[in-house]
Structure 1
Amino acid sequence: MTQLKSILLVEDNPDDEALTLRALRRNNLKNEIIVARNGQEALDVLSEIAVLPCVVLLDLKLPKIPGLEVLRRIRAHERWRVLPVVLLTSSKEERDIAEGYGLGANSYVCKPVDFQQFTTAVSQLGLYWAVINEPAP
Protein backbone atom coordinates (compact mmCIF):
# COMPACT_ATOMS: atom_id res chain seq x y z
CA MET A 1 0.00 0.00 0.00
CA THR A 2 1.28 3.45 -0.91
CA GLN A 3 2.11 5.76 1.98
CA LEU A 4 -0.09 8.85 2.07
CA LYS A 5 1.92 12.00 1.61
CA SER A 6 1.42 14.85 4.03
CA ILE A 7 -0.06 18.27 3.32
CA LEU A 8 1.99 21.28 4.41
CA LEU A 9 -0.19 24.17 5.56
CA VAL A 10 1.70 27.44 5.96
CA GLU A 11 -0.60 29.81 7.84
CA ASP A 12 0.08 32.32 10.61
CA ASN A 13 -3.54 33.18 11.46
CA PRO A 14 -4.81 30.74 14.15
CA ASP A 15 -8.45 31.14 13.04
CA ASP A 16 -7.63 30.42 9.38
CA GLU A 17 -5.45 27.50 10.47
CA ALA A 18 -8.30 25.98 12.50
CA LEU A 19 -10.82 26.48 9.68
CA THR A 20 -8.46 24.98 7.11
CA LEU A 21 -7.72 21.93 9.26
CA ARG A 22 -11.43 21.44 9.91
CA ALA A 23 -12.25 21.73 6.20
CA LEU A 24 -9.54 19.23 5.22
CA ARG A 25 -10.74 16.73 7.83
CA ARG A 26 -14.34 17.20 6.69
CA ASN A 27 -13.65 14.94 3.70
CA ASN A 28 -12.00 12.29 5.86
CA LEU A 29 -8.58 12.84 4.33
CA LYS A 30 -6.15 10.59 6.18
CA ASN A 31 -3.08 12.58 5.13
CA GLU A 32 -0.97 14.03 7.92
CA ILE A 33 -1.26 17.81 7.95
CA ILE A 34 1.90 19.60 8.96
CA VAL A 35 1.43 23.21 10.03
CA ALA A 36 4.11 25.87 9.69
CA ARG A 37 3.26 29.27 11.12
CA ASN A 38 5.83 31.38 9.29
CA GLY A 39 7.90 31.26 6.13
CA GLN A 40 11.12 30.16 7.81
CA GLU A 41 9.36 27.31 9.57
CA ALA A 42 7.93 26.14 6.23
CA LEU A 43 11.39 26.01 4.64
CA ASP A 44 12.77 24.23 7.72
CA VAL A 45 10.02 21.59 7.51
CA LEU A 46 10.76 20.97 3.82
CA SER A 47 14.47 20.63 4.61
CA GLU A 48 13.90 18.14 7.41
CA ILE A 49 11.23 15.75 6.11
CA ALA A 50 12.20 12.66 4.15
CA VAL A 51 9.07 12.48 1.97
CA LEU A 52 7.88 15.74 0.45
CA PRO A 53 4.22 16.67 0.93
CA CYS A 54 1.68 16.18 -1.83
CA VAL A 55 0.96 19.93 -1.73
CA VAL A 56 1.93 23.10 0.09
CA LEU A 57 -0.97 25.42 0.97
CA LEU A 58 0.87 28.72 1.31
CA ASP A 59 -0.40 32.03 2.67
CA LEU A 60 1.21 35.20 1.32
CA LYS A 61 1.33 37.41 4.39
CA LEU A 62 3.66 35.52 6.72
CA PRO A 63 6.10 36.52 9.45
CA LYS A 64 9.86 36.06 9.02
CA ILE A 65 9.77 35.19 5.29
CA PRO A 66 6.79 36.27 3.14
CA GLY A 67 4.90 33.66 1.13
CA LEU A 68 6.13 34.82 -2.28
CA GLU A 69 9.74 34.55 -1.10
CA VAL A 70 9.01 31.05 0.25
CA LEU A 71 7.63 30.16 -3.20
CA ARG A 72 10.72 31.64 -4.88
CA ARG A 73 12.99 29.49 -2.69
CA ILE A 74 10.92 26.37 -3.29
CA ARG A 75 11.20 26.80 -7.06
CA ALA A 76 14.96 27.49 -6.80
CA HIS A 77 15.64 24.32 -4.78
CA GLU A 78 16.44 21.22 -6.87
CA ARG A 79 14.49 18.77 -4.68
CA TRP A 80 11.43 20.98 -4.21
CA ARG A 81 11.15 22.44 -7.72
CA VAL A 82 8.14 20.33 -8.83
CA LEU A 83 6.38 20.38 -5.45
CA PRO A 84 2.80 21.60 -5.96
CA VAL A 85 2.24 24.96 -4.26
CA VAL A 86 -1.20 26.51 -3.89
CA LEU A 87 -1.29 30.11 -2.76
CA LEU A 88 -4.22 30.21 -0.33
CA THR A 89 -4.59 33.83 0.67
CA SER A 90 -6.99 36.67 1.33
CA SER A 91 -5.19 38.91 -1.18
CA LYS A 92 -7.01 39.59 -4.41
CA GLU A 93 -4.33 42.03 -5.53
CA GLU A 94 -3.59 41.60 -9.22
CA ARG A 95 0.10 42.18 -8.50
CA ASP A 96 0.17 39.27 -5.99
CA ILE A 97 -1.68 36.96 -8.39
CA ALA A 98 0.65 37.81 -11.29
CA GLU A 99 3.79 37.44 -9.17
CA GLY A 100 2.56 34.18 -7.65
CA TYR A 101 1.99 32.60 -11.03
CA GLY A 102 5.21 34.15 -12.34
CA LEU A 103 7.12 32.41 -9.56
CA GLY A 104 5.56 29.07 -10.42
CA ALA A 105 2.50 28.70 -8.17
CA ASN A 106 0.30 25.82 -9.31
CA SER A 107 -2.85 27.62 -8.21
CA TYR A 108 -3.97 30.85 -6.58
CA VAL A 109 -7.04 30.63 -4.35
CA CYS A 110 -8.55 33.60 -2.54
CA LYS A 111 -9.90 32.66 0.87
CA PRO A 112 -13.64 33.24 0.77
CA VAL A 113 -14.97 35.37 3.63
CA ASP A 114 -18.06 33.19 4.03
CA PHE A 115 -17.41 30.21 6.33
CA GLN A 116 -19.27 27.67 4.20
CA GLN A 117 -17.57 28.81 0.99
CA PHE A 118 -14.19 28.71 2.73
CA THR A 119 -14.65 25.14 3.99
CA THR A 120 -15.94 24.01 0.60
CA ALA A 121 -12.98 25.57 -1.23
CA VAL A 122 -10.40 24.06 1.14
CA SER A 123 -12.11 20.66 1.09
CA GLN A 124 -11.98 20.61 -2.69
CA LEU A 125 -8.32 21.67 -2.68
CA GLY A 126 -7.44 18.88 -0.27
CA LEU A 127 -9.29 16.25 -2.26
CA TYR A 128 -7.76 17.35 -5.55
CA TRP A 129 -4.12 17.52 -4.42
CA ALA A 130 -4.16 14.59 -1.98
CA VAL A 131 -6.34 12.15 -3.92
CA ILE A 132 -6.96 13.07 -7.56
CA ASN A 133 -3.72 14.72 -8.72
CA GLU A 134 -1.01 12.43 -10.04
CA PRO A 135 2.26 13.82 -8.58
CA ALA A 136 5.52 14.23 -10.43
CA PRO A 137 7.95 11.34 -9.84
Structure 2
Amino acid sequence: MSHQGPILLIDDDADDHFIFESILEELGVSNKILSFYDGKQALDYLLTTTEQPFVILCDINMPVMNGVELHQAIIESEFLRKKAIPFVFLTTAANSKVVNLAYEQSVQGFFQKSTSMDSYEEQLRSIINYWRNCLHPNVFPL
Protein backbone atom coordinates (compact mmCIF):
# COMPACT_ATOMS: atom_id res chain seq x y z
CA MET A 1 0.00 0.00 0.00
CA SER A 2 1.31 3.36 -0.93
CA HIS A 3 0.05 6.24 1.17
CA GLN A 4 0.56 8.41 -1.91
CA GLY A 5 -1.20 6.01 -4.30
CA PRO A 6 -4.57 6.71 -5.84
CA ILE A 7 -7.85 6.17 -4.07
CA LEU A 8 -10.17 4.05 -6.19
CA LEU A 9 -13.86 4.88 -5.95
CA ILE A 10 -16.08 2.28 -7.58
CA ASP A 11 -19.73 3.31 -7.65
CA ASP A 12 -22.31 3.49 -10.43
CA ASP A 13 -23.81 6.75 -9.15
CA ALA A 14 -22.24 9.91 -10.65
CA ASP A 15 -23.67 12.05 -7.82
CA ASP A 16 -21.86 9.88 -5.27
CA HIS A 17 -18.59 10.43 -7.17
CA PHE A 18 -19.10 14.19 -7.04
CA ILE A 19 -19.94 14.18 -3.32
CA PHE A 20 -17.01 11.87 -2.53
CA GLU A 21 -14.52 14.02 -4.44
CA SER A 22 -15.88 17.21 -2.85
CA ILE A 23 -15.52 15.80 0.67
CA LEU A 24 -11.97 14.55 0.07
CA GLU A 25 -11.03 17.97 -1.29
CA GLU A 26 -12.50 19.58 1.85
CA LEU A 27 -10.51 17.15 3.99
CA GLY A 28 -7.31 18.11 2.16
CA VAL A 29 -6.67 14.58 0.88
CA SER A 30 -4.08 14.97 -1.87
CA ASN A 31 -4.26 11.44 -3.31
CA LYS A 32 -5.42 11.18 -6.89
CA ILE A 33 -8.97 9.84 -7.10
CA LEU A 34 -9.73 7.31 -9.81
CA SER A 35 -13.42 6.86 -10.51
CA PHE A 36 -14.96 3.70 -11.92
CA TYR A 37 -18.64 3.02 -12.52
CA ASP A 38 -18.59 -0.78 -12.34
CA GLY A 39 -16.34 -3.50 -11.02
CA LYS A 40 -15.17 -4.62 -14.47
CA GLN A 41 -13.71 -1.19 -15.26
CA ALA A 42 -11.86 -1.22 -11.94
CA LEU A 43 -10.62 -4.80 -12.40
CA ASP A 44 -9.29 -4.00 -15.88
CA TYR A 45 -7.39 -1.06 -14.41
CA LEU A 46 -6.03 -3.06 -11.46
CA LEU A 47 -4.78 -5.85 -13.71
CA THR A 48 -2.87 -3.47 -15.97
CA THR A 49 -1.58 -0.65 -13.76
CA THR A 50 1.84 -0.37 -12.23
CA GLU A 51 0.48 2.05 -9.61
CA GLN A 52 -0.01 0.85 -6.06
CA PRO A 53 -3.44 2.11 -4.98
CA PHE A 54 -3.82 3.47 -1.46
CA VAL A 55 -7.31 2.05 -0.88
CA ILE A 56 -10.35 0.78 -2.79
CA LEU A 57 -13.76 2.14 -1.74
CA CYS A 58 -16.45 0.13 -3.48
CA ASP A 59 -20.22 0.05 -3.74
CA ILE A 60 -22.01 -3.31 -3.69
CA ASN A 61 -24.80 -2.98 -6.28
CA MET A 62 -23.47 -2.04 -9.71
CA PRO A 63 -24.08 -3.21 -13.27
CA VAL A 64 -21.68 -5.48 -15.19
CA MET A 65 -19.69 -6.61 -12.12
CA ASN A 66 -20.89 -5.85 -8.60
CA GLY A 67 -18.65 -5.13 -5.63
CA VAL A 68 -18.73 -8.64 -4.20
CA GLU A 69 -17.77 -10.09 -7.60
CA LEU A 70 -14.93 -7.57 -7.92
CA HIS A 71 -13.58 -8.40 -4.49
CA GLN A 72 -13.75 -12.12 -5.30
CA ALA A 73 -11.84 -11.53 -8.56
CA ILE A 74 -9.13 -9.67 -6.63
CA ILE A 75 -8.85 -12.52 -4.13
CA GLU A 76 -8.54 -15.05 -6.97
CA SER A 77 -5.76 -13.12 -8.74
CA GLU A 78 -2.31 -13.86 -7.35
CA PHE A 79 -1.02 -10.62 -8.94
CA LEU A 80 -3.67 -8.51 -7.17
CA ARG A 81 -3.50 -10.43 -3.88
CA LYS A 82 0.22 -9.63 -3.69
CA LYS A 83 -0.57 -5.92 -4.03
CA ALA A 84 -2.55 -6.25 -0.76
CA ILE A 85 -4.72 -3.23 -1.54
CA PRO A 86 -7.08 -2.38 1.32
CA PHE A 87 -10.65 -3.03 0.12
CA VAL A 88 -13.53 -1.31 1.87
CA PHE A 89 -17.21 -1.50 1.00
CA LEU A 90 -18.95 1.87 1.14
CA THR A 91 -22.53 1.28 0.13
CA THR A 92 -26.19 1.91 0.80
CA ALA A 93 -26.90 -1.83 0.49
CA ALA A 94 -26.33 -3.04 4.01
CA ASN A 95 -28.06 -6.14 5.28
CA SER A 96 -26.83 -9.11 7.28
CA LYS A 97 -26.50 -11.36 4.22
CA VAL A 98 -24.21 -9.03 2.27
CA VAL A 99 -22.19 -7.98 5.35
CA ASN A 100 -21.57 -11.64 6.24
CA LEU A 101 -20.62 -12.45 2.64
CA ALA A 102 -18.17 -9.54 2.55
CA TYR A 103 -16.44 -10.64 5.74
CA GLU A 104 -16.36 -14.27 4.56
CA GLN A 105 -14.25 -12.86 1.70
CA SER A 106 -12.03 -11.09 4.27
CA VAL A 107 -12.96 -7.56 3.24
CA GLN A 108 -11.09 -4.95 5.31
CA GLY A 109 -14.13 -2.81 6.09
CA PHE A 110 -17.83 -2.35 5.48
CA PHE A 111 -19.61 0.98 5.88
CA GLN A 112 -23.15 1.99 5.11
CA LYS A 113 -23.07 5.40 3.46
CA SER A 114 -24.22 8.08 5.82
CA THR A 115 -27.24 10.12 4.81
CA SER A 116 -25.95 13.50 6.04
CA MET A 117 -22.93 15.31 4.62
CA ASP A 118 -21.38 15.79 8.07
CA SER A 119 -21.54 12.13 9.00
CA TYR A 120 -20.40 11.04 5.50
CA GLU A 121 -17.42 13.38 5.84
CA GLU A 122 -16.61 11.85 9.22
CA GLN A 123 -16.84 8.33 7.74
CA LEU A 124 -14.41 9.21 4.96
CA ARG A 125 -12.05 10.98 7.38
CA SER A 126 -12.03 7.88 9.60
CA ILE A 127 -11.38 5.48 6.72
CA ILE A 128 -8.54 7.56 5.26
CA ASN A 129 -6.93 8.19 8.65
CA TYR A 130 -7.14 4.51 9.58
CA TRP A 131 -5.32 3.39 6.43
CA ARG A 132 -2.76 6.22 6.69
CA ASN A 133 -1.83 4.99 10.19
CA CYS A 134 -2.21 1.25 9.71
CA LEU A 135 0.89 -0.91 9.26
CA HIS A 136 0.46 -2.90 6.12
CA PRO A 137 2.63 -5.35 4.12
CA ASN A 138 3.23 -2.88 1.29
CA VAL A 139 4.48 -0.14 3.60
CA PHE A 140 7.73 -2.10 4.07
CA PRO A 141 10.13 -2.45 1.13
CA LEU A 142 10.88 -5.99 0.01
Q: Could you say whether these structures have the same fold, taking a TM-score greater than 0.5 normalized by the shorter chain as the test? A: yes
Q: Please list the CA deviations of residues 73-117 of structure 1 after superposition, one character each: whole Å capped at 9, or x if unmatched.
A: 011111222221000001121000000111121000010112211
Identity of matched residues, %: 24
Of 85, 91, 105, which residue of structure 2 is paired with 1:83?
85
- 1:80 maps to a residue whose letter is L
Q: Which residue number corresponds to residue 25 of structure 2? A: 25
> What's the RMSD between the two structures over aligned residues?
1.5
Higher helix share: 2
Matching of residue 47 in structure 1 with residue 47 in structure 2:
yes
| Equivalent position SS for 1:108 | strand
Aligned to 1:98: 100
Equivalent pairs counted in the alignment come to 135
Where structure 2 has 5 or more consecutive residues not aligned to the other structure, the ranges are: none
Separation in 1, partners of 2:58, 2:115: 17
- 1:40-96 C-alpha deviation (Å, 9 max, x unpaired): 101011012102201100100111001100000011111222221000001121000
Instruction: Give the aligned partner of residue 136 of structure 1.
Output: 137
Q: Which amino acid aligns with 1:111?
A: K
CA distance in 1, matches of 2:23, 2:91: 15
Which 5+ residue runs of structure 1 have no aligned equivalent?
none
Q: Segments of 4+ in structure 1 off by > 4 A?
A: none
TM-score by length of 1: 0.91
